[in-house]
Amino acid sequence: MPSPIQATQAFASVDILDAGAHHMSSIQAIYSHYVLHDLCSFEEEVPSVDEMQARRAEVLARGLPYLVAVKDGEVAGYAYASPYRSRSAYRHTVEDSIYVAQGLQGHGIGKALLQEVIRRCTDGGFTQMVAVIGNSANAGSQRVHQGQGFETVGVLRNVGFKFGQWVDTVLMQRALR
């Protein structure tokens, strides 16, 4: 297992670690907030810890990173990469996902997680990373991605329906090599 990555941002010092099975209940709790209260996830029912474990196992089986940010001994966020699409022609492109614990956004945790996901995917030989950002009003996620070299390449209008409203998806992309 790689050693922890120490990332110090403007307000937070976090360790970026490979997510273990013991982190999954904390990860599920973080994600639950977004499913139940936010438009960044288009999921409408909170997945169980077992389902989150299965998703993590699938990411790891593909040799992709699944990471946690630990601050003061607690999981403060998580991120992972997954295949962008299932067809073989997309095999060199990955999609990132980042979630930061409620109340800890804007403290550099998402940035630290994204930097490490980018590094590991670049080292893994991938050539492109795509961010599919739920809700075009999600300025925080867009800023984090722009800060790491992502460019907005499109907006899919009204493709999701959650909380009684139509929601856009912003597509951002970054070359890894």
**DSSP secondary structure string for all residues of 86-144:** SSGGGTTEEEEEEEE-TT-TTSSHHHHHHHHHHHHHHHTT--EEEEEEESTT-HHHHHH
pLDDT of residue 1: 45
Instruction: State whether residue 55 is helix, strand or coil.
Output: helix
- What is residue 169's DSSP assignment? E
Where does the pLDDT of residue 98 fall: very low under 50, low under 70, confident under 90, or very high at 90 and above? Answer: very high
CATH assignment of the domain containing 79? 3.40.630.30
Residue 4's pLDDT band (cuts 50, 70, 90): low
| DSSP run (H or E) holding 145 | helix 139-147
- Contact indicator for 108, 7 with CB cutoff of 8 Å: yes
- Single pTM value for the model: 0.93
Q: Does residue 50 register a pLDDT over 60?
A: yes
Tell me: the pLDDT tens digits for 54-85? 999 999 999 999 999 999 999 999 999 999 99
Among 124, 122, 140, 142, residue whose Cα is nearest residue 132:
142
Q: Considering its fold, how many domains does the chain have in total?
A: 1
Looking up tokens 């998806």 gives: 169
Domain that holds residue 76: 5-175
Tell me: pLDDT of 35 over 70: yes
| Local confidence band at 177 (pLDDT 50, 70, 90 cut-offs) | confident
How far CA 25 is from CA of 21, 28, 48, 109, 145, in Å, comes to 8, 5, 9, 19, 26
